Amino acid sequence: MFERFLERQQALLDELGQQKNHSRQQLEQHRQRFEILCEFDQSLGQVQSHSALFHQNRLALRGQLGELLASQRQEMELAQLDLNYQQQMLLRQFGKVKGLEGVQQKKDKEVLRQNERREQQQLDEWISARGRSQRGPGR
């Protein structure tokens, strides 16, 4: 039963590791989108034109782009919080699994010691019985 519990905890550890990797990928995607939006925003500022309509459209586009940047920054922050949470959960589960593995090792060592004692006791009894049989009854 303990082994099944340990296996389940190890499976949960693996699952948390996969979730953390997924969170890391999401964060990286949000960072890439943010960088692309920043580059686009900078490129809009460098375009020269004398048309009033162009300037008006560019200002409107930069305003919308600013909102997108703010939204993307917020998504990035949320993804970072999620990644931090996943890291904490992973570390907690790792500690739990290592503790359970330590308990399992102690349990296995104790079983091994008991088996060795039992074997030694049986060997001692066999030697003692053999010694009695060689001396014969009444010697």
pLDDT for res 139: 54
Widest distance between CA atoms in the chain: 127
- Asked if residue 127 belongs to a domain, the reply is no
pLDDT, tens only, 22-74: 999 999 999 999 999 999 988 887 778 778 888 888 889 999 999 999 999 99
Query: Could you tell me the residue range of the domain that residue 66 belongs to?
Result: 2-97
- Asked if residue 115 belongs to a domain, the reply is no
- Asked if residue 28 belongs to a domain, the reply is yes
- Asked if residue 91 belongs to a domain, the reply is yes
- Asked if residue 137 belongs to a domain, the reply is no
- Asked if residue 75 belongs to a domain, the reply is yes
The answer, yes or no, to whether residue 138 has pLDDT greater than 60, is no
pLDDT, tens only, 87-113: 999 999 999 999 999 999 999 999 999
- Asked if residue 23 belongs to a domain, the reply is yes
Q: Count how many domains the chain has.
A: 1
- Asked if residue 32 belongs to a domain, the reply is yes
The answer, yes or no, to whether residue 123 has pLDDT greater than 70, is yes
27 burial type by CB count under 10 A (0-12 exposed, 13-18 middle, 19+ buried): buried
Helices marked H in the chain — which ranges?
Answer: 2-46, 52-135
